[in-house]
Amino acid sequence: TGNVTRAQVIATLYNLEGKPEVTDDKAVNELKDVKAGQWYTDAICWAYNTGVASGSNGKFNVGADVTRQQLAMMLYNYAVLKGYDTETSKDYTEFPDAKDVASYAVTAMKWAYGTGLISGSKTTVNGVAVYNLNPAGNATRAQMASIMMNFVENNK
């Protein structure tokens, strides 16, 4: 598909971090869908141990498409882990769907919007361009590539 999964995002951040050795695999024991010896195992264990990402309802949702707000949250948590500037913030209430941002992701979305990592997503309604934040929409591979490029450039 053209979307990015939660495991793919974490694998990307794990690679960016230099693939540190993972000695605590509690994610395998605590999250029902994280299996030992898979391409994603070390990355998810690293993310789980460092707080970059967590699961919900006892699962990581390895193969699930990542939403834009989940992506913002993972990047925000990684920025916190690295000691990057996370103070930058911009109000996004100009977007018609701003109210759709989940409470857990508000700070991360304000940061991602303020740093230019996430911007409006264009849709056309009755021939008129409308820009939405689309927090619960799936992040595409193209969006992920652009966001990661900007993230790396912003944090050199």
Provide the token pair at 67: 């939403």
Helix-strand-coil split of the chain, %, nearest 5: 45, 10, 45
How do residues 38-94 score in pLDDT, each as one tens digit? 999 999 999 999 999 998 899 999 999 999 999 999 999 999 999 999 999 999 999
Question: What residue type is assigned to position 81 of the chain?
Answer: L
Q: Which are the contacts of 41, defined by CB distance < 8 A and separation ≥ 6? A: 25, 28, 34, 35
Q: In the chain, what percentage of residues exceed pLDDT 70?
A: 99
Provide the token pair at 7: 């495991």
Q: Is 132 helix (H, G, I), strand (E, B) or coil?
A: strand
What does the pLDDT average to over 2-23? 96
Where do we find the tokens 């998810």? 44
pLDDT level of residue 124 (50, 70, 90 thresholds): confident
pLDDT at 1: 53
pLDDT level of residue 141 (50, 70, 90 thresholds): very high
CA distance linking residue 62 with residue 44, whole number of Å = 9
- CA dihedral defined by 18, 20, 26, 31, rounded to 10 degrees? 10
End-to-end CA distance of the chain: 31
Q: Is 65 helix (H, G, I), strand (E, B) or coil?
A: strand
Where do we find the tokens 């508000």? 106
Q: Is 121 helix (H, G, I), strand (E, B) or coil?
A: strand
